[in-house]
Every structure is written in C-alpha cells, then in structure tokens.
Amino acid sequence: MSTAVAQNRGLGAVIWDYLTTVDHKKIAHLYLVSGGLFFLIGGLEAMIIRIQLMEPSNNFISAGLYNEMITMHGTTMIFLAAMPIIFALMNAVVPLQIGARDVAFPFLNSLGFWLFLFGGLILNISWFTGAPDAGWTNYAPLSTTSPGHGVDYYVMGLQISGAGTLIGGINFLVTIVNMRAPGMTYMRMPLFTWTVFVTSTLILFAFPALTVGLFLMMFDRMFGSAFFDVALGGNAMIWEHLFWIFGHPEVYILILPAFGAFSEIFSTFSKKRLFGYSAMVFATVLIGFLAFMVWAHHMFTVGLGPIANSIFAVATMAIAVPTGIKIFNWLFTMWGGNIRMNSAMLWSVAFIPTFTIGGMTGVMLAAAAADYQYHDTYFVVAHFHYVIVGGLVFGIFASLHYWWPKMFGQVLNEALGKWTFWLFFIGFHMTFFIQHFLGLIGMPRRYWTYQEGQGLEVGNMISTVGAFLMAIGTLVFIYNIVQTAVKGEKVSGDPWDGRTLEWTIPSPPPHYNFKQTPLVRGLDALWVEKSEGKKGMTPAEPLGDIHMPNNSILPFLMSLGLFIAGFGFIYQVDDKMWLILVFIGMGITLGSMLTRSVKDDLGHHIHKEDLEKGAGE
C-alpha cells in the first residue's frame, strides 16, 4: 500500500494501517513515536527528581513519591525509551543497509512492537494506582516486601515488553544472516549492521535471564512461592544475580548500536572509509563476548568473596581495551578527512570525550577494593549517565539527524539542531560532572533529601540548572521536528553523499525498498560505485514480481490479550474474581496464535508492470 494512497484515505484508514502494518519502515515510526513519548515522560520524572534535590531538606515531593520517581525514571529510560528508539533505528536502517525488501519475520516484527508498547502502558498505568518503588534494579527483598501493587506492575510490564524485545532480537539476527543482498559478505556489512547483529545476539542470551527473574518475582509476590523468602529457605541473591546476568549485557545492547551509528556518521562526514574496519568488527564482537563475564561488578559489595571479585574486576577492566580500539579508530577516521561539522557530526564528536570520561570512571569503579568507597554514591550515578547519556542519547540524537531524511524524506533544520546540541551538551556536563564530586564527598544515591551544611548545596544546584538546560535542548529538538514537518521540504535519496546501500533508494523508500536487489561489490557498496563514476548500484536480478507480506491485526490482538491478562495477574491477589481477566486475556492471545497457525498467510505480489509504472513509490 502506498503512502500516497493512505494519506488520501482519511485518519481512520491511516490508524488501521499502522495497527496492522508489517512494514519495517512503519514499525520504525511506531517505535520512534512511542519511544520518544516515553523518553519525554522519563525526562519529566528526571526533572522532578532534580527539583526535589535542588536545595537541602526540600519538600517538593514526598519521600514515597520520590522512590516511585527514581524507580520509574530508570525503568522508563532503559526499557521504554532507549530500547525502542534503538529498535526504531534498527528497523529503519538495517534492512536497507543489507539490501533487503523486509525483515525475515515481518509479522513477528509487528508483534515485538505491540508487546513492547502494551508492556510500557502497563508500567505507566501504575502512576494512577501506585507506582513501583524498589529502584529500577528491583532488588529482593525490598521488592518482595514492597506494599501495594507497584512492583507487580513492574513485573508484568517488563515481562511483556521483554518478550517483545526478545522476538525483535531473533528477527534481526535472522534478517542479517539470511536476507543480505548478493555480494554482501559479513565483512562487507556496514558497521551499524554489525553492531545490530552483536546486539541482537546479546538480546537473545540476556533476556531469558530477565524472563526467569521476573517469573520468580511474580511467583513470589502473586502466588506465594519462596524463592527470595529467607524464612522458607529462599535466597534474595538469586534475583540480584539473574537481574545483572541480564542487566549488564543490557547496557551493551544499548550502547553497541550507538557505536555503529557513530561509525557511519564519522565515515560519511569525513568522506573517508572507516579506519580499521576489521578491528572495529573484532572490537564489537569482543565487547559482546565480554558482556557476559562482568555482571558481578555491580555486586562487589554483597560479599562474593575476594576470588570472585578479582575475576570480575579484571574482566571488567579488559573491556576498556576493545572500547579504546574503537575510540582511536574513530579519531583516525576523522584524521585528514574532509570534515563537515553539521549537527549529526557535532553529537558524534562530542560523544568521544564524554564517553571517554564515562569509560575512565568505569575503570575506577571496576577496581573492586575502591568500589566499596564509590558504591551507591552519586559517583556511580555520574558514571552511568556519562556512558548512557553520553554514549547512547548522544548517539540517538546523532542518528536521528543522520537518518531523518531516510525515514521521513526531510532534513532537520541545522540551526535548531545546533541549538539543541549546545544546550543539551552544556546542560549534560553541568548536571553530571559535578555529581562525581558529590559522590566522592559522600552523597548516597536514591536519597530523598540531604541536610544543610554538608557541602552538597552548590553542587546540587548546579546539577539542577544543568538538567533544565537539557530539558530546553530537548524541547528545541521537538520544535525542530514539528517545524521541519510543517515546512515539508523534500530531499533526494542521498542528501549526505552517503556510502552505504540505504542512500541508493528514494527518501522515504517505497514500501518494497529495492525495485531490483543490488549487487554489492565491496565495503561501502555505494561508494565503490561512486568512485567508479557510476550513479547507482548494478542490479543483481532482472526486474520481476516482488513478493511482500500481508498486513495483520493479530500481533496487536496477541499483545492486547497479554495486557488484559496482566491486570488479572496483578489483582487476583486481592480477589480471585480478577482471574476472569486472566482467562479472557490469555484466551485472546492463544486464540490469535492458533488463528495465525491455521490460517495461511502467503503474502502478495507487486507485479512487474506496476513496478515499471512506478506504483507504490
């Protein structure tokens, strides 16, 4: 279905189209919009936290609400903002970069999105009924003894959205393994695709640990089991380990695609091929490998013993090596290049020192003995915001500027882009650099307030002012999006003089992406052709019928069923009547699965004659 037709058919048809779509480009829009909304909600929560900490003995929000605020800020930002925006980029770019017409499992792609969205909705509905308040790590026994239903919402929301992420991860693995265009060998894949491949592998192996952890937490809180209940022989450390066996790979899941995006941006805007491509691939794989060996560095102070602490400390420090390789390769990519300093490039260049600071504090924290001093202070808060914001959020802004034309056919305004950058960049360093010192002075994280006269006032005030600058920067970015959309100036398929396959097709791409599958003849496939004076790619096949998948409402229904069942599970603790919701919800989900299984879905063809007439563009 062409977008032009959809636009003429009124709002209802457009909504129905998005509810049923299996097109990776539209799913990317869905991920971006919902992830963006959750990002704003998480940002609002952050602002409330900063206002509360602005001055000593502040009473802006109550202590209980503060606990809910920090829990929801962390959970929302990691699971509901960062993950979906990463998935938005993966969906928008990866199939185009490998020369594919869609992902391997378009149906599952849509299912993954709806599961994520309904999980996120469950989590945020808790604001009206009492939000989770045991921190984003949800440590037992604090979480198992937390009164009310807040933690139940956390468990159900993350379980459902986590299932969506796992499905998405498998989908991208298979897409990259099976759907590459002819000639696109593994060592010719653009680095963003490589990082998505490694990230998806991490998702595949890390998320099951979260699934099990959440199941155990659910059984303990809702069905009276005793996994974390010491009185019946349980052991709270099981949650802590399961959470971090998942949780540490999770932060690499987030950062690796950002690394990939930076690699593309540095190379494009320096007009040079990426320095040390194979070393970059190797470093990415090595980071992925080490991701599973370091989780206990979050638990140095729980008493694992000196041997375990030493092993995990050394493994953690080892991660600095592949990361260092990457930093130097990016610098050498720019070295002697023909550099264009636009917004995307500004974010990328600013990322290097910011992330390096985060990396250095990371090595400091990895020293197990010293960690006893830093643990649970603002030093840790500063560290992980330097790597997550300085790495991932900078990466998201950079990639959005870079790929916005490909996703929406328009270039974001450069002047506003630079305003966003400078406001956010200065605000970020104001907010978090000072927190290193607050932490070293001894300010513990997660505390509702602090006393006067302990030397914490000035630092916290600076931090809050910085947070406001970041908020203003974000608002300018939203204004930029709106203004660009209203102006509606269209751009060509290749506004940046790009190097990879996504720039060989129109912006936004037709829904079958490539009229003819391209033949890839080297790394930076488009650049290879350009350097030989050709305009576009050589097709690898004659023009023929294109097979495309059919739209389906079933993914939406399956997720809706789990959403309904989630409430049943949460409230059946109070009254068994709520089990009705479990049966209704699971009935919808399993019924939809059965329908999917027995109803053939053979897809449809776009005919050659229509392609020649240019339909669907």
Partner 1 sequence: MSNEDVLNPKEMPHEPEKATLEGKNKFIGFWFFLGGETVLFACLFGTYLALNGSTMGENTPEHLFGLELVFIMTMLLLTSSLTSVYAMYHMKNNDFGKMQLWLGITVVLGLGFLGCEIYEFYHYIHEYEFTFRSSAFGSAFYTLVGFHGGHVLFGLSWITALMIRNARRGLNLYNAPKFYIASLYWHFIDVVWVFIFTVVYLMGKVG
Partner 2 sequence: MANHSKSPSQQMDFEKRQHKEEMKQQVISFVMMILFTIVAFSMVLLEVNSYFLIPTLIILAVVQVLFQLYYFMHMKNKGHDMVAMMMYGGISVAILTIITFTTIIWW
- Cα distance between the two ends of the chain: 10
Q: Considering the rule CB under 8 A, would residue 137 count as an interface residue with partner 1?
A: no
Which residues does residue 377 pair with via DSSP β-bridges, in sequence order?
444
In the DSSP assignment, the letter for residue 180 is P
**Cα gap 444→454, rounded to integer Å:** 13
Provide the residue type at 191 as one letter: L
In angstroms, give the least distance from the CB of 360 to partner 2. 28
Torsion of CA 282, 283, 288, 291, to 10 degrees: 140
Q: Considering the rule CB under 8 A, would residue 96 count as an interface residue with partner 1?
A: no
Q: Considering the rule CB under 8 A, would residue 238 count as an interface residue with partner 1?
A: yes
**Cα gap 134→149, rounded to integer Å:** 12
Q: Pick the binder of partner 1 from 5, 63, 177, 482 (CB under 8 A).
A: 177
In angstroms, give the least distance from the CB of 249 to partner 2. 9
Q: Return the number of the residue (445 or 596) whose C-beta is nearest partner 1.
A: 596
The site partner of 224 among partner 2, partner 1, none (C-beta below 5 to 8 Å per kind) is: partner 1
Binding-site ranges for partner 2 (CB under 8 A): 173, 177, 201, 204-205, 209, 230, 235, 237-238, 241, 245, 292-293, 296, 303-305, 308
Residues in the chain: 617
In angstroms, give the least distance from the CB of 295 to partner 2. 9
The site partner of 14 among partner 2, partner 1, none (C-beta below 5 to 8 Å per kind) is: none
**Cα gap 68→105, rounded to integer Å:** 37
In angstroms, give the least distance from the CB of 324 to partner 1. 29
Q: Which positions from 147 through 166 interact with partner 1, judged by CB under 8 A?
A: 166
Structure tokens at 484: 């660009």
**DSSP helix/strand/coil, 377:** strand
In angstroms, give the least distance from the CB of 230 to partner 2. 8
Q: Considering the rule CB under 8 A, would residue 224 count as an interface residue with partner 1?
A: yes
Q: Considering the rule CB under 8 A, would residue 173 count as an interface residue with partner 1?
A: yes
Residue 99 near residue 518 (C-beta atoms within 8 A): yes
Please state, in angstroms and as integers, the Cα–Cα distance from residue 612 to each residue in 1, 400, 529, following that order: 16, 32, 24
Q: Which positions from 190 through 219 interact with partner 1, judged by CB under 8 A?
A: 204-209, 211-213, 215-216, 219
In angstroms, give the least distance from the CB of 593 to partner 1. 9
Provide the residue type at 64 as one letter: G
Stretch that binds partner 1, among 297-305, 317-325, 528-536, 597-605 (CB under 8 A): 597-605
Buried b / exposed e along 205-236 (16+ C-beta atoms within 10 A) = ebbebbbebbebbbebbbeebebbbeeeebeb
Q: Considering the rule CB under 8 A, would residue 226 count as an interface residue with partner 1?
A: yes
In terms of Cα–Cα distance, which of 86, 276, 84 is closest to 191?
Answer: 276
**DSSP helix/strand/coil, 340:** coil
Q: Considering the rule CB under 8 A, would residue 294 count as an interface residue with partner 1?
A: no
**Cα gap 64→284, rounded to integer Å:** 41
Q: Return the number of the residue (177 or 485) whose C-beta is nearest partner 1.
A: 177
**Cα gap 130→101, rounded to integer Å:** 45
In angstroms, give the least distance from the CB of 308 to partner 2. 5
Stretch that binds partner 1, among 225-233, 299-307, 360-368, 382-390 (CB under 8 A): 225-233
Please state, in angstroms and as integers, the Cα–Cα distance from residue 464 to each residue in 20, 51, 459, 460, following that order: 43, 7, 9, 6
Stretch that binds partner 1, among 228-236, 443-451, 484-492, 554-562 (CB under 8 A): 228-236
The site partner of 296 among partner 2, partner 1, none (C-beta below 5 to 8 Å per kind) is: partner 2
Measured in whole angstroms, how far is the alpha carbon of residue 132 from the centre of its chain?
22
Residue 503 near residue 526 (C-beta atoms within 8 A): yes
Q: Considering the rule CB under 8 A, would residue 104 count as an interface residue with partner 1?
A: yes
**DSSP helix/strand/coil, 103:** coil
| Interacting residues toward partner 1 by CB under 8 A | 104-105, 166, 170-171, 173-174, 177-179, 204-209, 211-213, 215-216, 219-220, 223-227, 229, 232-235, 238, 242, 245, 545, 594, 597-598, 600, 602-603
